[in-house]
Chains A and B, each alone.
Chain A
Amino acid sequence: MDRGEAQRAGLLVSAGFIDLHAHLREPGFEESETVATGAHAALRGGFTTICAMPNTEPAIDAPGLVAELLARAEAARGARVLPIAAITRGRAGKALADLVELARAGAVAFSDDGAPVDDARLFRHALEYARAADLLLVEHPQDLALSGRGVMHEGSVSARLGLPGIPAAAEETAVARDLSLLELVGGRMHLTHLSTAGSVELVRRAKGRGLPVTCDVTPHHLAMTDEWVAGSRTFAYDDHRADSTPKARRGVLGGTESPRWAYDSSTKVNPPLRTATDVRALWAGLADGTIDAIATDHAPHASVRKDVEYDQAAFGVAGLETALPLVLGGVRAGWCDRDVALAALTAGPARILRITPGADDWIAIDPDAEWVVRGDEIVSLGRNTPLLGLTLRGRVVQATVGGEVRFRGGRVGEAHAAV
């Protein structure tokens, strides 16, 4: 259907979503995702453009690898794929990759994501060098020493579950470092997947004094809290109901809300799911423009890496296909205007990347359609999401790339029956 038909059918028409942060796993981890499966999973989620993170095996740190990625994406005929290349050779954090040549081969930004550039001196030089060609660095802010062997947010929930925690300060000290270096050097720096109230405040103040920093937040950090590790499946923006009803059968330490979902490794993600206060602060940051974009950090994993003990499981949530309903949940709670939230999925990331997507990349959304997240309907090879079995509201009905309809969901207006 064309735009007019979509509008007449009562659907919301939007520019195609742009994801600044997705892991496509190819080459090296094709059992978890490929460029093709990731690019099609993106369309189901409404993303017509996605940036592919370079933490593959080998890492995307040479022009030939960028070209190969682009060729695979072209052949897949899914979402457009924009390569992000590594900042350091082999993502080893020791020496700079050939940033200018990588950019000429098609890299739109640079990141060692999965890890920070831990060496502050090297990160400073990366920022300085990137200025030469006006390149964008996407930094994953994390103090590796402080996060240590943590597997979830450090707080009341980790205390009662007996799991090692990652303090908010592990992110905030890194954000502070990165902002200091940006102030020293200048350039284009984007901080990805901010998760704490403190990080948002640091960026708000930095922007207030004119630093050219941008940042994003993930849909899962906007919707879920550390209580999800203990088995809760209550969205942060729905939790006002939970406050008034005392939780039955919860013991002294607070308890595991549902034994079936407690210690479910699909809730293990880096940065970790934080507290309700942090989630509220992320929404406030989104609403006031401190946060420029919503990026999925889509991190698919084959079941062998997730179907293990919590502390041994890989970090990551597969997020491309469920981003929209999680964002709309907060909009419905009144935490952010719908236009602002949708801009964070479209114009926001476009501005950060300095791209101008064509008007023929567009999607049709049924914002009120309810559907159940089912493993066998997930397009991504990674089914690692704590949303399995839950009913979400809001879905993408059609995704059009370059004028070609590349994804069509269930019938217009159809809601999957909840079973």
Chain B
Amino acid sequence: MQTYLRQASQMQALSFTVHIPLVCFGIALPAIIAFMEWRFLRTGDELYRTLARRWTRLMAALFAVGVITGTILSFEMGMLWPGFMSRFGGVFGLGFAIEGFSFFMEAIFIGIYVYGWKRLKPRTHLLCAVPIILAGFTGSLMVISVNAWMQHPSGFKLVHGRAVDVHPLAALFGNSFLWNELIHMYLAGYIVTGFVLAAPYAIAMLRGRRGRYERTALAVPLAIAAIVSPIQVLVGDWVARDVATEQPTKLAAIEGLAHTTRGASEHLLGWYENGQVKFGIAIPKLLSLLAFHSFNAKVQGLDAVPASQRPPINITRISFQLMVMIGTALAVLGVWFLFMRYRRKRLPDTRWFYMAVAAAGPLSLVALIAGWIVTEVGRQPWVVYKVMTTTQAVTDARSVPVGYAALAIAYVLVAIGVVWVLRRLSAAPLDELDGAPAGTPATAGA
């Protein structure tokens, strides 16, 4: 029987690509807003409250879109991958079930926070941000525990195609892969939110609007992103070393390493073809050093597994290079910002710096998606690494292409809508932001 594996994979990828940037704002924006509100409570300076309120509106709108795209994802788990769910739902499902509670907390307290400006006592209101921040963390922890389990499955035995002897807690949380994926993703959330939020204010500065309002709105998210970006490089290196030991084939795909080699060299740029990287810059022995901390360590190549068990090389490899290049550039930008802060005790004043910050917003998003492509495409052809292939997981339903097309159209409309509403929100006069959140037109019923 014909299945629509390709379309199903692409539909899944599309849905994630839409969900994951929104998630970053769910992770980091509440903390940034709470910081602003706390500054306001400490200093009584209205400027901070104005910014906090503006960003609350942004958070409310993005959260709503995060909810719907996440709902689609949970539908798709069963709609597209019934084989996967039927066999392993009992093993990893717990992660999602706990995640559900964390969504509850997030949704409840975002509701209170968004509607509670001016309607709750200031301190109560600020306290309501705490569960949102915590839930952003536990939510990511739970989903990523599922993803990490797919990368590095354990906690069950397979007998006659059924999972038996199931230990969900060990499967989800006793997994070395979880911690590096989680930290890397969580930091990515702060990087993306920081740079994306700073970008419009950098553009405003370039256009000559350099009042204290713009400077504050720029400095807070930018400082966060600038601090986290260099740290992310270290964490990324840690992630890569874990991939090297646990998923050697993925590492070989990332590096375009055809044959198992001692003292393998690292290739920058280039294109993988016929067992080698063409037009790349080779740095001898660097790969062995990076992956195993030794110049002559043996690195497993693609030839260790049959061709049918290798992921698409170029997609994985190019996405990885893109992420690392952008990550490095963001780290350099961050270090520059910190250096200027330390040396000159002020914001940088060169045009190129603000142009770089404006570019860093979209670039950090590219790095985010690219990183997930490395993780997910590099896992192919397995849905559960070395246990179940995507062919075994995919649905037999013939409706996949139609569903894919419908969802793609819907998401294009969603994207247009989001851009439209964000522009409207940023143009709304400040005095109308009296705590009436998403959904209540600023002047309704007045």
Q: Report if A and B associate in a common complex.
A: no
Binding site for B on A (CB under 8 A): none
Binding site for A on B (CB under 8 A): none
